[in-house]
Structure 1
């Protein structure tokens, strides 16, 4: 039986392991951390990613554990709506709405389907030989022989750097981000129903995503220099967003200061020449780090995983890797660029530029949900065989 080693047990790596196992590969997943429990954040799974999860048989389980992104859209800091959307619009156009759940829930579903003994934690990969598929694990004399190595080792991928030395690394996208999961509106004293929405201000964004189980995922970005940190990140969010529309202040009041995460956002602005070398395939953030503005980082990793498993044959992995690389470069490069372009719009501070930006979004919103929905066709209408 052909053997695949997956480096990294994030969403992309776990999806790849399951997809390859479905195709008859023996899989080993190497995770450097002591456990695979992800940081406390939420995730939007778009229709294209749900189709990818259907391929490995977990799509329906994800749908059952998720909240549906119902009525929502883009707002101004005073609460006025610039554009509105509904779950019915998305489902009618793409076959599924966007669904919302915690990263921990999705990782738990995926990890629970792994073949017994496939996952090895505390296993930091020292090196990968693309010519032979040999994987060396740090701190041991062990070398694992693999017919295929899937590098899903994240935005700072050591494998990517080794395969493409000298290629530009991901760069700071100009914004820092915060994430937190807080109790639902009924427990916060918020004065209105919580809709899935993003609120755009001058160099600031605040997003709200209701989750199943009485929780809300909140995220925010600010255009600031990289590397800044506050003594209390919840206080910093209250300083920036505490006077914005309901339910934002109440949600921030309810947030646990210790649970507020902050990270600077990076993007790979110069696409790699390929997503493979020898027996090694790059996947997810290791291949195409992107800003979160389209909500497609994890979704594209799931797409990568099922396409890789479908195109790469155990009998001749080299030919399939070339196909995978060509298809996924063509698919992900415009998505990375589009997400980056939207991210630049969120950084605008000049009042005139912001007014023009908001006016353009309002004009599109007035054209009706069908026009707004069409903006997502190139992303959401994907299918595993396209």
Structure 2
């Protein structure tokens, strides 16, 4: 088995994979098309399965130290009425860790710091992969080529590598929702670590960080490509009259800090996660809606499983076949569950349907929320030696 890998994409999944491959003795080059690593993004919640995957890769403790546990949280109506509570300490008792919140920029930096600087090449966009020599795929850049024993496609929801491997696949589809999000300018006092608020066709959520700042996001039903002259003003119009601390979060946000992206997903599952010695992971393999908070966690699982397979199987092909067998059913099931959660949560807009859902949530036993989280977060990673 050769030991030279090229990872296309320097996001969370790509960096986690590079860390794992280096841990088992592979030489790794990570190609990131962005020329400046400004770590654009807001915040992220990591469930136990994501943290466990990072533990297996050797960086879990570092990430935990920089994150804030989410012990208190709830889902509410715009007027503040509680629909369901999230008990982070119960999750910690069940799984060994609560959900944690961390700025994406901090997580990216910590993952990069676990790699030698020379392994990450910024401003390098992979154009295609030449598989004419099956045992040595060649990554073609605009002005160079790289030979490898393994190519990892971690190039996101609009993956070029996925499109090349499966030219008949329809690619990502618009979910019907768009998201505006930002990190507050400074710290502010909040009564909970994490909250979601569901209106009609709209969701507002926040994540508190260890430094006292917070990430907030507003997910709105909207036509694909819709944009607003003043995104922060639009969020104020839609959600500014909702319960505390929503007005306070918006008040300490700079207008230029607001990011706006349409949410896309792979509604049609990819038929395989590996072709020859080219493998897909993260959003390139199973882009999903954010309604379960599992997108990045599934990418971390991918990295841990791929690393373990390559460490124990006798050939790259056997390792990728094992990875595909283990990861495709689980990640695609999580993607379906996330889609369904969005339809019954943020995307629900008919008044009668919203009223019925809210009543059902208030009447549900207190353990329902915990069991729903455990369904996807209770995952045990392979052991890396």
* Cα distance in 1, alignment partners of residues 197 and 93 from structure 2: 25
Q: How does 1:215-226 map to 2 (within 5 A)?
A: 215-226=213-224
Q: TM-score, normalised by structure 2?
A: 0.95
In structure 2, what is the equivalent of residue 56 of structure 1?
A: 57
Confirm or deny: 8 A CA contact 2:308 2:382 kept in the other structure.
no
Residue in structure 2 matching 1:193, options 186, 191, 194? 191
SS in structure 1 at match of 2:286: coil
Paired residues, what number? 378
**Structure 2 vs 1, CA of residues 184 and 246 (structure 1 numbering), >3 Å: closer, same or farther?**
farther
In structure 2, what is the equivalent of residue 105 of structure 1?
A: 106
Confirm or deny: 8 A CA contact 2:129 2:140 kept in the other structure.
no
1:107 to partner: Cα distance: 0.8
* Cα distance in 2, alignment partners of residues 178 and 117 from structure 1: 34
Moved more, 284-293 or 36-45: 36-45
In structure 1, what is the equivalent of residue 75 of structure 2?
A: 74
SS in structure 1 at match of 2:118: coil
Unaligned runs of 5+ in 2: none
Unaligned runs of 5+ in 1: none
* Cα distance in 1, alignment partners of residues 34 and 369 from structure 2: 41
Alignment of 1:373 onto 2:370: yes
RMSD, aligned CA: 1.6
In structure 1, what is the equivalent of residue 362 of structure 2?
A: 362
1:377 to partner: Cα distance: 2.2
Confirm or deny: 8 A CA contact 1:183 1:214 kept in the other structure.
no
In structure 1, what is the equivalent of residue 33 of structure 2?
A: 32
* Cα distance in 2, alignment partners of residues 126 and 349 from structure 1: 41
Alignment of 1:341 onto 2:340: yes
Confirm or deny: 8 A CA contact 1:133 1:280 kept in the other structure.
no
SS in structure 2 at match of 1:106: helix
1:212 to partner: Cα distance: 1.2
* Cα distance in 1, alignment partners of residues 24 and 38 from structure 2: 26
In structure 2, what is the equivalent of residue 149 of structure 1?
A: 151
In structure 1, what is the equivalent of residue 283 of structure 2?
A: 285
* Cα distance in 2, alignment partners of residues 35 and 184 from structure 1: 25
In structure 1, what is the equivalent of residue 351 of structure 2?
A: 351
The Cα offsets for residues 147-204 of structure 1, whole Å up to 9 and x where unpaired, read as 1110000000000000001112111111110110004663xxx7x6244100001101
Q: How does 1:130-279 map to 2 (within 5 A)?
A: 130=131, 131-140=134-143, 142-183=144-185, 186=188, 193-279=191-277
Tell me which stretches of 4 or more aligned residues in structure 1 moved more than 6 Å: none
The Cα offsets for residues 315-372 of structure 1, whole Å up to 9 and x where unpaired, read as 51001101101111111111000000111122121111001111121122xx12x332
Confirm or deny: 8 A CA contact 2:20 2:57 kept in the other structure.
yes
* Cα distance in 2, alignment partners of residues 246 and 4 from structure 1: 49
SS in structure 1 at match of 2:247: helix
SS in structure 2 at match of 1:97: coil
Confirm or deny: 8 A CA contact 2:130 2:140 kept in the other structure.
no
1:301 to partner: Cα distance: 0.4
The Cα offsets for residues 239-270 of structure 1, whole Å up to 9 and x where unpaired, read as 00011001101211211100101111111111
Moved more, 32-41 or 236-245: 32-41
* Cα distance in 2, alignment partners of residues 185 and 83 from structure 1: 26
Confirm or deny: 8 A CA contact 1:183 1:251 kept in the other structure.
no
Q: TM-score, normalised by structure 1?
A: 0.95
* Cα distance in 1, alignment partners of residues 216 and 300 from structure 2: 23
1:32 to partner: Cα distance: 1.0
1:36 to partner: Cα distance: 2.9
Moved more, 121-130 or 312-321: 312-321
* Cα distance in 2, alignment partners of residues 316 and 35 from structure 1: 36
1:123 to partner: Cα distance: 1.0
The Cα offsets for residues 37-77 of structure 1, whole Å up to 9 and x where unpaired, read as 32131010110011110112111111111111121110010
The Cα offsets for residues 274-296 of structure 1, whole Å up to 9 and x where unpaired, read as 10001000010000000000001
